[in-house]
Amino acid sequence: VECGVHPSAVVGKNLALAENTAVLAQVFIGDDVTLGAGTIVYPHTFIGDQVKIGENCLIHPNVTIREGAVLGDRVIIQSGAVIGGDGFGYVTVDGEHLKVPQVGNVMIEDDVEIGSNTAVDRATTGSTVIKRGTKVDNLVHIAHNDVIGEHCFIVAQTGISGSVTLGHHVTLAGQTGTAGHVHIGANSVFIGRAGI
């Protein structure tokens, strides 16, 4: 991969681009973005304003990283993932669902991998956090204000409701689902289609 910014990329103001970094064709980068050394951003990716991405990250094609997200070092984001989309927050008034502004962000620590077509929602306020070493499979939903512990496995089609916390080394196997506002202790294992 050739380092530097491809001529077809669209780059906003104040891009901080470290050495040996590659921004490939048709990437969009907003204002005040930081990309660490050795990071590669593949084509057709959107990176919003004030995103910070660490060193030696791989951002595969067609990824969306919304404004304010912070990624550590050696993070891998597979194609189609959305990092920092709005959390599912509504208040019902007189039978109508009114949107609650989602003004937080997503923080992903070192050595995390996020699978294809996975959604990690921004926090309503504060941060949705995925701690270091956690591996997230394809087609997973991590909701607003979740805190996922270190070295967890979150497997295909798992859905984690809002404001859930996981300890370290938790495994949620395929199609596991949780209620909101629960805590799952360290080293817990839930097999496929478990409900928490």
**Residues marked as catalytic:** 144
* Residue from 24, 22, 26 nearest 3 by CA: 22
| 132-136, long-range: CB < 8 A, 24+ apart | 132/72, 133/109, 134/109, 136/112
User: How far apart are the C-alpha atoms of 5 and 175, rounded to whole Å?
Assistant: 39
**Count of other CB atoms within 10 angstroms of residue 26:** 13
Instruction: Check: CB of residue 35 under 8 Å from CB of residue 53.
Output: yes
Specify the 3-state DSSP secondary structure of 107.
strand
- 7 contacts: CB under 8 Å, gap ≥ 6: none
Token pair for 131: 């701690």
